[in-house]
């Protein structure tokens, strides 16, 4: 059994979750690895297509692989929200152990078709595949949340059962009221735990929760303990921690000529945030 399959299996049986933390540079990658080591927990280090476009495929991927190799923690390189099948297959060929095919923007049958193709390709190389069913609305501000939530297409339990059976996907990202990003002053909406349980009653496939940043902590833990969530995605809170530390340094009026002095402060801030999330996902287990 591969490392990522063991991580998923143990999380599902133990009723806890591991984090999938996104990165686009050295400092954030190091912070994730150090936090996982400090808390003695596995983690996924995720990259998106936009991160790859920003940093370049080989520079970013080789950087992450180097950090993973030197780390004592169980870390897995993951492609988050992959929409380009060609890029997804390239990631599989280049050593990613987990990939997400996000065809949730397509109609159900097309989502099945695209996902099934990636699953068949990935499984030949022992790579785990995650897919998404339902649609998370895109919102630009907290003022739009209520309006956009009305347009949300939550995961249908019956469709989820059919989707998993036909695609043979390893994990399923469910939409149960979760949204991407963090919104104030109202905060992010609560999760529909009852719906999550209904989906769980239909299938035993491990679930993934996207949009973990800003989601009420109590909801996250209930989703893990009661709804079968084995992994929670965090991106926005990492960015906020990173940039917040840099902004605070700049406001302090200090002057430095070595950028590493500022970036190391940002790295420490991200590590602290990742450790907080890891403890939350452990559910005191």
Buried b (16+ CB within 10 A) or exposed e, 238-272: bbbbbeebeeebeeeeeeeeeeeebbeebbebbbe
DSSP E strands in 48-181: the ranges are: 75-82, 98-101, 128-133, 171-174
What does the pLDDT read at residue 283? Answer: 87
* Residue 21 bridge partners (DSSP): 45, 234
What does the pLDDT read at residue 208? Answer: 97
Q: Give catalytic status of residue 258 as yes or no.
A: no
- The residue that leads in pLDDT, 212 or 124, is 124
Q: How far apart are the first and last CA of the chain?
A: 23
Per-residue pLDDT for 70 more than 80? yes
Summarize pLDDT for 93-141 with one digit per residue, the tens: 999 999 999 999 999 999 999 999 999 999 999 999 999 999 876 655 5
Q: Name the active-site residue from 80, 102, 170, 235.
A: 80
Would you state the structure tokens that stand for residue 54, as one six-digit string?
């920003």
Radius of gyration of the chain (CA): 18
For residue 177, name the pLDDT band (cuts at 50, 70, 90): confident
All structural domains of the chain, each given as residue ranges with its CATH number in brackets, are 3-282 (3.20.20.70)
Name, in order, each residue with C-beta under 8 angstroms of 108's C-beta and a sequence gap of 6 or more: 159, 163
What average pLDDT does range 216-233 have in this prediction? 94
The whole-chain average pLDDT of the chain stands at 92
What is the Cα–Cα distance from 118 to 130, expressed in whole angstroms? Answer: 10
- Cis peptide, bond prior to residue 171, ω within 30 of zero: no
What is the Cα–Cα distance from 282 to 66, expressed in whole angstroms? Answer: 27
Q: What's this model's pTM, rounded to 2 decimal places?
A: 0.93
What does the pLDDT read at residue 185? Answer: 46
């Amino acid at each position: 059994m591969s490392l990522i399959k063991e991580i998923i299996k143990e999380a599902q049986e133990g009723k806890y979750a591991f984090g999938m933390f996104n990165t686009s540079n050295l400092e954030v990658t190091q912070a994730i690895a150090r936090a996982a080591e400090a808390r003695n927990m596995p983690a996924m280090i995720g990259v998106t297509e936009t991160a790859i476009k920003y940093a370049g495929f080989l520079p970013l991927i080789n950087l992450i692989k180097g950090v993973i190799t030197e780390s004592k923690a169980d870390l897995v390189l993951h492609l988050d929200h992959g929409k380009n099948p060609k890029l997804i297959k390239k990631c599989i060929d280049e050593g990613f152990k987990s990939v997400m095919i996000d065809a949730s923007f397509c109609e159900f049958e097309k989502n099945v078709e695209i996902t099934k193709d990636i699953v068949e390709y990935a499984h030949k190389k022992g790579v785990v595949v995650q897919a998404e069913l339902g649609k998370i609305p895109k919102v630009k501000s907290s003022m739009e949340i209520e309006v956009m939530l009305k347009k949300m297409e939550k995961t249908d339990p019956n469709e989820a059962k059919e989707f998993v059976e036909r695609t043979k996907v390893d994990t399923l990202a469910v939409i149960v009221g979760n949204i991407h990003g963090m919104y104030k002053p109202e905060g992010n909406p609560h999760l529909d735990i009852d719906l999550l349980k209904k989906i769980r009653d239909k299938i035993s496939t491990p679930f993934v929760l996207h949009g973990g940043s800003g989601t009420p902590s109590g909801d996250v833990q209930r989703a893990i303990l009661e709804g079968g969530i084995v992994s929670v995605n965090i991106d926005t809170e990492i960015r906020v921690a990173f940039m917040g530390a840099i902004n605070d340094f700049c406001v302090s009026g200090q002057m430095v000529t070595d950028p590493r002095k500022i970036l190391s402060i940002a790295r420490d801030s991200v590590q602290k945030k990742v450790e907080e999330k890891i403890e939350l996902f452990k559910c005191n287990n």
